[in-house]
Structure 1
Amino acid sequence: MALMSETLPFTIMRTDELLDSARDLTDRKEGARAVLGLAGPPGAGKSTLARALVEGLRRRYGPLAAAYVPLDGFHLSNAQLERLGLTSRKGSPPTFDVHGYVALLRRLVVEGDHDIYVPDFDRTLDEPVAARHVVRPGAELVVTEGNYLACELPGWSEARGVMDEVWYVDADPEERRRRLVERQVAGGRTPEEAREWVRTNDMPNAEIVEASKGAPWVKRAFHWSGHD
């Protein structure tokens, strides 16, 4: 992966522009499977963008153009968080099985002749679930997303080493906060509980992520304009 030496300014990117860039990444791999990583703080729209890219590429180029691999499938279960004393820090770097995530990414770039099943996180259950997604043989691009993909932290640099490019996705802090509170309310917390969770957990996690936005391995940093 090429390194960039300067901090990248934020721009507003449209979906069609990002689809073109993602397809360019596939074309440069000349038949090998490419991996695009979307980093950024909680509530920035990473998962929504990742799904939009996968859906858009499939519409343009066929069902094997792209596949979705969310980091959130590698959340530790609530039982493991309780064992480790990390329940109140859910979503922070040590609450993910980063080594399992790296192992899956490595499989994805070397095993292309069979289905590879991918876990996800179920917000209703508040638990990871196995095999919600599948990467089919011949899938050309894996779009993966997660908060810490650009961070210089144990395990995350190994994950980044499997990626061909890393993009940093952001949004206005107040907009991120609003989305995060809505997410927690939808998950069953009261508005007061949701705001407290965001203040004490999501926003500190965001500070960790924000320190990585100018990292030299971030190919581009932008605010996504949404579905357009």
Structure 2
Amino acid sequence: MDRQQLVADAAALTPPPGGRALLGIAGAPGAGKSTLAVGLVGALCERLGPGAAAYVPMDGFHLSNAQLERLGLSSRKGSAPSFDVWGYLALLRRLRAATPGEPVYVPDYDRTLHEPVAARHLVTPETRLIVTEGNYLAAGAAGGPGWSEVREQLDALWFLATPDAIRDARLLARQRAGGRDAGSARAWVDTNDHPNGELVKAHVAPDVRVITVDPNGA
């Protein structure tokens, strides 16, 4: 994966002032989507000017723990049904049609609180490229209702293909950092994260650009 080339390619997607485009980055859990997206936004703002690009994470639309419990999805947190896909879709549509001069506040997911939080990110009126990322952006109908409509909002979609061994190590470390012991972390990754990842990897449409991460994670 050539990060400098990816920055150049993202810059090429950015319309002139007054326009706005949406770039999606999909991938299985632990692929490094958020790291890539945040890095792209930072590099684009340095190249094109402050606020030229903005980060919009799909994870801000995790259902709260209370809603997951109500729906019987607590053990499947991170699966496609555990997100408010319609809220995410409404945000993407709003970002595309935003009135000039109107800031848009964007939610995020807090891994310390283990809950979504409101208004952590900001899309300014000057923002020309939205970089959004999440597991199910490329899943289409396989992800369930709403995900095909999400795909339609994206001007370009990249899929970050990271070796399973790298993802597994990252996912285990994430669960341990979140407070699980070694056995519970292993069980969560095996019964939840990996099945979610297999669904995501199995449904990558031909129009999606695949970005391969080498075995060293570069």
User: TM-score interval w.r.t. the shorter chain?
Assistant: over 0.9
1:84 paired residue among 71, 79, 101: 71
Q: Distance in 1 between matches of 2:203 and 2:158?
A: 11
How many Å apart are 1:62 and its aligned residue?
1.1
* Conservation of the 8 A alpha-carbon contact between 1:76 and 1:97: yes
- Partner secondary structure for residue 206 of structure 2: coil
Q: Distance in 2 between matches of 1:92 and 1:86?
A: 9
Q: Which residue of 2 aligns with 1:128?
A: 116
The TM-score normalised by the length of structure 1 is 0.90
Q: Which residue of 2 aligns with 1:217?
A: 207
Q: Distance in 2 between matches of 1:62 and 1:109?
A: 20
Q: Which residue of 2 aligns with 1:208?
A: 199
Matches within 5 A, 1:35-74: 35-74=22-61
Q: Which residue of 2 aligns with 1:108?
A: 95
State percent identity of aligned pairs: 58
Q: How many residues align?
A: 213
Query: Would you say 1:191 and 2:179 are equivalent positions?
Result: no
Q: Which residue of 1 aligns with 2:156?
A: 165
The higher relative CO (CA closer than 8 Å, separation ≥ 6) is in: 1
Q: Distance in 2 between matches of 1:195 and 1:43?
A: 14
- Partner secondary structure for residue 67 of structure 1: strand
Structure 1: where are the runs of 5+ without partners? 1-12
- Residue type at the aligned position of 2:192: N
How many Å apart are 1:227 and its aligned residue?
10
Query: Would you say 1:98 and 2:89 are equivalent positions?
Result: no
- Residue type at the aligned position of 2:34: S
Q: Distance in 1 between matches of 2:91 and 2:192?
A: 27
The TM-score normalised by the length of structure 2 is 0.94
Q: Distance in 1 between matches of 2:172 and 2:35?
A: 17
